[in-house]
């Protein structure tokens, strides 16, 4: 199927459907699909296209380079980018009609500079730190920054089109900071409007707030993880509870299947020892591919779950750089080349990225975004039945390079 014995199959129909579901959760707001970090590992360009087809009208990226890549790919939707350091290519961003966030006085100066050099008016979203304690201007410095921004607006250098912020505890909707941040945000919006800003979009909600907190949807919601069908609030509900379908299935072919005797130590440090004569299967994915070493099995306990031939097994022993091992059991029928599913939609009881996150002591975000560049992304579309051609290398190759 490809020259790499594993792949992340990304169903673009799931992304489309997830955006439709998110739009239905936030009927009064526009949807910005956050496609930073290669669309959370799903492939920037195909994922962005599917999100727009699903009804997103904005795309969001952390890095300017990611935003420029969207323009280079021909997308003309609104794009917001928000994380950069002094010396960033803001002239290029403004020239490419990309909305830029401003979170500090130096950033305002550099955006203004970039706009003058680009010879066009920049669209600016002022980022307010309403309590996350990360990026953004603190409320005590907001008025000065807005004053400066509105002076530049009067000169035609830029337009302040947005006020925005981000939650610290969106995944705990009843946490007291959620309400406190929403109040600070409302104050920031009121201040900007009282100073004469004509705001086009006020935005605060990530996936969790989009799904659980309609009071903060404002004009625009910014879901990321939910676009890819993973729950931002696993303690409150899985994807299906919110009308979401995980878009990525990570699968591999068994590279080696062999029988061994009892008492055989397996993989580095022999963290797993076969309890009796059995069959071992080698899965050709390891931590270089983003398989967390923390998902290893330990003495007496299997690691993260995988599905083989309808059976659920767990990682036996250590995850290595390129591979890990499964104990397929005595008399196993599997042969080299048989398919192993690491995670997917969870339908039919299969493991999910959330299961891997639990096994590795992390969150599903990290499982999908850390998938290595060595793993091909193969884009499929379950709404358009695949032909034999689609399954062969051409689609795989296009999928792998089109990210
Ligand atoms: C990543 C990010 C989002 C999306 O967050 P999810 O939890 O994935 O929905 C939204 N806004 C900002 C500022 C972000 O950095």
* pLDDT value at 90 more than 50: yes
| Strand-strand pairing, 278-283 and 256-260 | antiparallel
Residues forming beta bridges with residue 301, ordered by sequence position: 298
* pLDDT value at 3 more than 90: no
Question: What pLDDT was estimated at residue 397?
Answer: 35
Looking at 105-114, 132-141, 387-396, which range is the least confident one?
387-396
Q: Which tokens is 230 given?
A: 């993973």
Please list the active-site residues.
36, 268
Question: What pLDDT was estimated at residue 400?
Answer: 39
Any ligand 1 atom below 6 A from CB of 5: no
The minimum-distance atom of ligand 1 relative to the CA of 36 is 1
Instruction: Identify the band that residue 387 occupies on the pLDDT scale cut at 50, 70 and 90.
Output: low
Q: Quote the mean pLDDT of the chain.
A: 95
21: phi then psi, degrees, rounded to nearest 5: -65, -40
Which CATH entry fits the domain spanning 12-228: 3.90.950.10, 3.90.1150.10, 3.20.20.10, 1.10.287.110? 3.20.20.10
Any ligand 1 atom below 6 A from CB of 54: no
**What would the mean pLDDT of 39-62 be, rounded to a whole number?**
98
Question: What pLDDT was estimated at residue 384?
Answer: 81
* pLDDT value at 393 more than 60: no
CA of 109 to the centre of ligand 1 (A): 25
Domain ranges of the chain: 12-228, 248-351
Q: What is the pLDDT of residues 258-267, one digit of tens each?
A: 999 999 999 9
* pLDDT value at 390 more than 60: no
CB 29 within 8 A of CB 217: yes
Any ligand 1 atom below 6 A from CB of 224: yes
* pLDDT value at 389 more than 70: no
Q: What does each C-alpha distance from 100 to 64, 97, 133, 153, 363 come to in angstroms?
A: 9, 9, 20, 14, 28
The CATH code of the domain at 248-351 is 2.40.37.10
Question: What pLDDT was estimated at residue 85?
Answer: 98
- The alpha-helical segments, DSSP class H, found in 34-138 are 36-41, 44-53, 64-72, 90-95, 105-118
CA of 293 to the centre of ligand 1 (A): 26
Question: What pLDDT was estimated at residue 2?
Answer: 64
Q: What is the pLDDT of residues 327-368, one digit of tens each?
A: 999 999 999 999 999 999 999 889 999 999 999 999 999 999
Residue whose Cα lies nearest atom 13 of ligand 1: it is 166
* pLDDT value at 1 more than 60: no
Any ligand 1 atom below 6 A from CB of 223: yes
* pLDDT value at 211 more than 50: yes
Candidate of 206, 216, 244 to mutate for ligand 1, largest count of ligand atoms within 8 Å of Cβ:
206
Q: Which residue has the tokens 């029988």?
A: 259
Candidate of 166, 230, 232, 367 to mutate for ligand 1, largest count of ligand atoms within 8 Å of Cβ:
166
Instruction: Identify the band that residue 371 occupies on the pLDDT scale cut at 50, 70 and 90.
Output: very high
Residue whose Cα lies nearest atom 4 of ligand 1: it is 224
**What would the mean pLDDT of 27-44 be, rounded to a whole number?**
98
Rounded CA separation 89/398 (Å): 29
Cα radius of gyration rounded to whole Å, the chain: 24
CA of 38 to the centre of ligand 1 (A): 14
């Amino acid at each position: 199927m490809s020259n790499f014995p594993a792949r992340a199959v990304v169903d673009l129909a799931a992304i489309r459907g997830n955006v439709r579901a998110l739009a239905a959760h936030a009927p009064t707001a526009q949807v910005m699909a956050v496609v930073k970090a290669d669309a959370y590992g799903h492939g920037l360009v195909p994922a962005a296209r599917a999100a727009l087809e699903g009804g997103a009208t904005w795309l969001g990226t952390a890095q300017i380079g990611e935003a420029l890549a969207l323009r280079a790919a021909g997308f003309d939707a609104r794009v917001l980018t928000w994380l950069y350091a002094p010396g960033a290519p803001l002239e290029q961003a403004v020239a490419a009609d990309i909305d830029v966030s401003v979170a500090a006085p130096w950033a305002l100066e550099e955006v203004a500079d970039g706009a003058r050099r680009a010879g066009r008016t920049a669209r600016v979203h002022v980022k307010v730190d309403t309590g996350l304690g990360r990026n953004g201007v603190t409320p005590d410095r907001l008025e000065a920054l807005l004053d400066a921004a509105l002076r530049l607006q009067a000169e035609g250098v830029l337009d302040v089109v947005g006020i925005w912020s981000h939650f610290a505890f969106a995944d705990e909707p009843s946490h007291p900071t959620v309400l406190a941040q929403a109040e600070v945000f409302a104050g920031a919006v009121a201040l900007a409007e009282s100073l004469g800003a004509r705001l086009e979009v006020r935005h605060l909600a990530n996936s969790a707030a989009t799904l659980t907190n309609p009071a903060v949807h404002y004009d625009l919601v910014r879901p990321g993880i939910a676009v890819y069908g993973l729950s931002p609030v696993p303690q409150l509900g899985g994807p299906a509870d919110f009308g979401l379908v995980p878009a990525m299935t990570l699968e591999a072919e068994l590279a080696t299947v062999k029988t061994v005797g009892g008492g055989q130590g397996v993989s580095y440090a022999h963290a797993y020892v076969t309890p009796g004569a059995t069959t071992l299967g080698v899965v050709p994915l390891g931590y270089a591919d983003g398989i967390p070493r923390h998902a290893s099995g330990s003495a007496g306990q299997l690691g993260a779950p995988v599905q083989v031939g309808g059976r659920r097994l767990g990682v036996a022993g250590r995850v290595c750089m390129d591979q890990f091992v499964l104990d397929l059991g005595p008399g196993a029928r599997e042969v080299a080349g048989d398919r192993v599913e690491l995670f997917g939609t969870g339908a039919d009881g299969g493991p999910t990225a959330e299961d891997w996150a639990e096994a590795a002591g992390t969150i599903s975000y990290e499982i999908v975004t850390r998938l290595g560049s060595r793993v091909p992304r193969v884009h499929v579309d379950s709404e358009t039945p695949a032909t034999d051609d689609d399954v062969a290398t051409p689609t795989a190759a296009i999928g792998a390079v089109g990210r």
